[in-house]
Chain A
Amino acid sequence: MTPATLAPRPDRRAQWLLIGLAVALTLFIVVVPLVYIFWRALSEGFAVFAQNILAPDTLHAIWLTSAVAVITLPVNLAVGIAAAWLIARFTFPGRKALLTIIELPFSISPIIAGVCYLLLYGRQGLLGPALAAGDVKILFALPGIVMVTLFVTGPFVAREVLPLMQAQGSEQEQAALTLGASGWQIFCRVTLPNIRWALLYGAVLATARAVGEFGAVSVVSGAIRGQTMTLPLQIELLFNDLNTVGAFAAASTLTLIALVVLVLKTVLEGRTR
């Protein structure tokens, strides 16, 4: 029973005008840019496209971005589950404050997160001199890129899993406990099956973000060619080098990932909601 079927009268012309306007604007703003990415990437033929993707620096960027995604995913899963378990299953002083802090990265723009990291670990940063003395390299290297990516992607898993665990309550887990199950048994046999789709959904969103993050990573990476360039940074480098087709080739791989994520998201939303 939709309002549209309730009210067939209010004139159809206005309706089709609005639909037409909505479709036209969406075409211009969203669809055309999407198509344009692939069109430009392939504008000089598939051979050039393959050549661009297989350029050593771009391959290295793909490798680095994959490495960041592979490292951040298990951390995000572990911390997301732990945070959801902690907040959904226990009451303790400071519970609300902890939740606010866990969600804090969503209200700080990624570029500011990058600036914070530099103010902490940079040459004149709070811990900079100590790190330099101990010859520990965090900035302009993989650890910094991973840490700032964790900052940006941290809340995704908890945000999907926590509401579900709160809604489900802990009766099943408590029953398992009285039947003599150990903590891990409860988690693996009771909790995990209950939250698996939300967990997967959160993991997909976090990983998509880890792969595509630009602002935060650009500050801490130092943009060393062929070394600390993730794929999004490589796009900017190629663009600034006036290798536009190469930039679009690199961008098209990220766009494909984004489209896959969208399909996964649609499928998983049906399962979690």
Chain B
Amino acid sequence: MSVAAVAGLPAGRQRRVLPGFGLTMGLVLTYVGIIVLLPVIALFLKGAEIGPLRFWEIVTAPRTLAALRLTLTAAALATVFNAFYGLLMAWVLVRYRFPGRRLLDAMMDIPFALPTAVAGLALTALFSENGWYGAILAPAGIGVVYTIWGVAVAMSFTSIPFVVRTVQPILEDLDPGQEEAARTLGATPFQIFTRVIFPAILPSFLVGTTIAFARSLGEFGAVIFIAGNLPMKTEIASLLAVIRLEEYDYNGAAAIALTLVAIAMVLLVVSNWLQARLTRRRVPA
């Protein structure tokens, strides 16, 4: 029984028995309005001003297409790596006990804690020809800095934690009984993994990779250090939007930004849908 009922307040006031509704509502709405909504609305209004034909022209211009293609391809490369690496890390951190495990676990948070500009600087210097990695790779004819590979390296570094941190808790909660059952039925460790474990962690694995992909698409700070930013070659889409702004081509900037927002929203919907499936599945267990 709620306090309002005890105190004999009218039933209508029952929900708002605690003070502060007006104050917090006012503060939050003012803040959200000025800081978040107004700028986002500006983007959509600018986008609406352009008109569909001009919008299409901007987005399909060779330089924009090249930038979008580079961004998507590099993000895909980064995500493929992170999918494997993340799954490996989650598995090793959850299933095995070994000295230094907690330290290894803490290392997974470094890419989030480190400012992206710092990550970009360090990776660029490491992979440039006189850096520790570049010195080994360059004689082999592998160039990373100022190529799509550099973009992918920067993207994968900054989105490392996503797959690990989404798969880890699911793997921890997995019912060992099913594996035991599979083992007593004569399944090999490989069969147990592919038939029992992997299907159980698949939704979380997909959520993690989707978020990692979305984050890679949006990554800016780390990428611009290593990319070299050559138009048509190693220029990412968000940088092109900024360049358009600097040229006072606000329509161009808005069209590219809206395209990126649209891609991000689609990915968000996909990940939410996967997440909903994930929680539904976990209820009976």
Interface residues of A (CB under 8 A from B): 1-4, 6-7, 10-11, 14-15, 18-19, 21-23, 25-26, 29-34, 36-37, 40, 75, 78-79, 82-83, 85-86, 89-92, 98, 101-102, 104-105, 107-120, 122-127, 147, 150-151, 154, 170, 173-175, 177-178, 182-183, 186-187, 208, 211-215, 218-219, 232-233, 235-236, 239, 244, 247-248, 251, 254-255, 258-259, 261-262, 265-266
Contact = CB atoms under 8 A, between A and B. Distances in A.
B43 interface: yes
Contacts of A113: 39
A117 B241 CA distance: 13
Contacts of B214: 107
Given A40-B125, A124-B250, A104 B36 contact: yes
Interface string B76-101: 00000000010011011101111010
A214 B116 contact: yes
Contacts of B20: 85-86, 89, 183, 187
What is the size category of the interface that chain B forms with chain A?
35 or more
Given A18-B96, A98-B32, A91 B132 contact: no
Contacts of A151: 35-36, 39
Contacts of B110: 30, 34, 258, 262
7 contacts: A109-B260, A111-B238, A113-B39, A178-B7, A183-B20, A232-B116, A239-B121
Interface stretch (B58-66, B216-224, B277-285): B216-224
B202 interface: no
Given A85-B20, A109-B217, A115-B242, A265 B125 contact: no
A91 B13 CA distance: 11
Contacts of B151: none
B183 to A, nearest CB: 7
A112 B45 contact: no
B115 A214 contact: yes
Given A3-B176, A7-B179, A104-B40, A33 B220 contact: no
Contact of B116 (A75, A105, A215): A215
B106 A248 contact: no
Majority SS at the chain A contact face? helix
Contacts of A125: 42, 250
- Which of B20, B174, B225: most chain A CB closer than 10 A? B20
B25 A108 contact: no
A254 B115 contact: yes
A174 B17 contact: yes
Nearest to A182: B19
A211 B115 contact: yes
Contacts of A212: 114-118
B260 A112 contact: yes
B159 to A, nearest CB: 12
A116 B19 contact: no
Contacts of A36: 122, 125-126, 131-132
Contacts of A92: 21, 25
Interface string B16-29: 11111101110110
A73 to B, nearest CB: 14
Contact of B225 (A104, A123, A178, A239): A239
Contacts of B179: 3, 6-7
A26 B104 CA distance: 8
